[in-house]
Amino acid sequence: MIRVGLPAHLRTLAGVEGEVEVDLDGVVSIGAILDDLESRFGPLRGTMRDRVTGKRRPFVRFFAGEDDVSHDPFDAPLPEAVARGRERFTVVGAMAGG
Partner 1 sequence: MSGVRVLIGTRKGAFVASADGARKAWNIDGPFFGGWEIYHVTGSPVDPDRLFASQSTGWFGQIIQRSDDAGRTWNPVGNDFRYEGVPGTHQWYDGTPHPWEFARVWHLEPSHTDPDTVYAGVEDAALFRSTDAGMNWNELAALREHGTGSSWQPGAGGLCLHTIVLDPLDAQRMWVAISAAGVFRTSDGGASWTATNKGLVSEGIPDPDAEVGHCVHRLAMHPTRPNVLFMQKHWDVMRTDDGGDSWREISGNLPTDFGFAIDVHAHEPETIYVVPIKSDSEHFPPDGKLRVYRSRTGGDEWEALTRGLPQENCYVNVLRDAMAVDTLDDCGIYFGTTGGQVYASADGGDSWDTIVRDLPAVLSVEVQTLS
By the criterion CB under 8 A, which residues form the site for partner 1?
Answer: 7, 9-10, 13, 42-43, 45-48, 50-52, 57-60, 93-94, 96
Close Cβ partners of 58 (under 8 Å, ≥ 6 residues apart): 94
The residue among 12 and 84 lying less far from partner 1, judged by its C-beta, is: 12
Q: Which is nearer to partner 1, 12 or 21 (CB)?
A: 12
- Nearest distance from residue 12's CB to partner 1, in Å? 8
Q: How far is the CB of 35 from partner 1 (least distance, A)?
A: 16
Distance CA 7, CA 74 (A): 20
Q: How far is the CB of 44 from partner 1 (least distance, A)?
A: 9
Beta bridge partners of 22: 2
Residue-level length of the chain: 98
Assess contact for 34 and 48: CB atoms under 8 A.
yes
- Which residue, 28 or 41, has its beta carbon nearer to partner 1? 41
CA separation for the pair 33, 64 (Å, rounded): 12
